[in-house]
Amino acid sequence: MKIKWALLTILFTIATVLTGCDNPLMVLDPKGPVAATQADVIMISIWTMAFVVLVVIVLYIFMIMKYRASKQRDDYEPPHIEGSKVLEIIWVAIPILIVAFLSFVTVKTTNEVEATPKGYGEQEPLVIYASSSNWKWHFSYPEEDIETVNYLFLPTNRPIEFKLYSYGPIASFWIPQLGGQKYAMSDMVNTLHLAADVPGEYMGRNSNFSGSGFAQQTFNVKAMPEKEYDKWVDEIKATAEPITEEKFNKLLEPGHVGQSTYTGTHLEFSPAPEGEHAGHDHGSSDTEKTDSEKSDESTKDSHEEHSEHSNMNH
- Rounded Cα distance, 177 and 35, in Å: 6
Sequence ranges of the domains in the chain: 27-71+84-114, 126-268
pLDDT-wise least confident of 26-35, 68-77, 123-132, 149-158: 68-77
pLDDT at 145: 96
Tell me how far apart the alpha carbons of residues 179 and 214 are, in angstroms, rounded to a whole number. Answer: 20
Distance CA 148, CA 170 (A): 20
CA angle 17, 18, 24 (to 5 degrees): 120
Check: CATH 2.40.40.20 for 126-268? no
Q: Tell me, what's the pLDDT at 280?
A: 60
Whether 154 has a pLDDT exceeding 70, the answer reads yes
Residues 310, 314: Cα–Cα separation, whole Å: 6
Its pTM stands at 0.77
* Residue type at position 274: E
Question: Cα angle vertex 14, ends 61, 63, to 5°?
Answer: 5
- Calpha distance 5→49 (Å, rounded): 28
Q: Tell me the pLDDT band of 277, cut-offs 50, 70 and 90.
A: confident
Whether 221 has a pLDDT exceeding 90, the answer reads yes
H-run or E-run covering 191: strand 190-194
If you average pLDDT over every residue of the chain, what do you get?
85
pLDDT confidence of residue 3: 58
pLDDT of residue 20: 45
CA atoms within 13 A on the CB side of 154: 37
What are the distances in angstroms from CA 34 to CA 117, 181, 196? 6, 11, 9
